[in-house]
Chain A
Amino acid sequence: AQSVTQPDIHITVSEGASLELRCNYSYGATPYLFWYVQSPGQGLQLLLKYFSGDTLVQGIKGFEAEFKRSQSSFNLRKPSVHWSDAAEYFCAVDKFQTGANNLFFGTGTRLTVIP
């Protein structure tokens, strides 16, 4: 069965430092992969996605992610974190159910940014 693992429940970084959020998936083929961000009390916003092709994908707000098939990973990175990046981040995989694009989400990583 498909699964998505985000091993880090909570990460704290200093403003200006680099960031990497980990995501591992379990799936029989190359899935469609997504990263979403959720600010407190808000809905989710799509940061970036990977479908195929170049394994390094660029997203909004200066984020990027790299798909590594050999490691079944899709880690999210940002070279310099801003205080406004403090939020919850979710990795997701498309379950490819017939007729629908159902996503399976990881449990999320909460990012705290300290000045």
Chain B
Amino acid sequence: SQTIHQWPATLVQPVGSPLSLECTVEGTSNPNLYWYRQAAGRGLQLLFYSVGIGQISSEVPQNLSASRPQDRQFILSSKKLLLSDSGFYLCAWTENYEQYFGPGTRLTVT
């Protein structure tokens, strides 16, 4: 069966520091992968999606970037974090039009 992993689970970073969040999927090949952000008390905002290795589409211009160095690996990065980058980051993959979500990473920028 397929599983999706995210790490770290929680992260506290100062403003201006770099960021790297990792997502990996097991049990499937060539999945569509997604990064969402959920700000406190708000819904989910799609940040990036990828339909294959090296293929990244950005939904919202921002301080973040994404990369897909391997088929089942999706990385969310930032060179310099802003306070507004705080939130709950969720990775997801798709099968048969259904999206399956990872456990999330809670990022607090101080």
Contact = CB atoms under 8 A, between A and B. Distances in A.
10 contacts: A41-B104, A43-B90, A43-B101, A46-B99, A51-B97, A90-B44, A101-B32, A101-B97, A103-B99, A105-B44
Contacts, number: 53
A43 B25 CA distance: 14
A23 B97 CA distance: 19
A36 to B, nearest CB: 8
Interface residues of B, number: 22
B103 A100 contact: no
Contacts of A90: 43-44
Contacts of A34: 98-99
A46 B98 CA distance: 8
Interface in A79-114: 90, 94, 99-108
B51 A45 contact: no
Taking residues whose C-beta sits less than 8 angstroms from the other chain, chain A's interface range is 20 to 34
Contacts of B106: 41
Contacts of B92: 44
A69 to B, nearest CB: 19
A76 to B, nearest CB: 15
Interface of A: 32, 34, 36, 41-46, 49, 51, 90, 94, 99-108
Interface string B77-110: 0000000000000101010011111111010000
A107 B34 contact: no
Contact of A44 (B59, B94, B101): B101
A32 B97 contact: yes
A43 B102 contact: yes
B43 A107 contact: yes
A106 B51 contact: no
Contacts of B49: 100, 102
Contacts of A36: 101
Contacts of B44: 44, 90, 103, 105
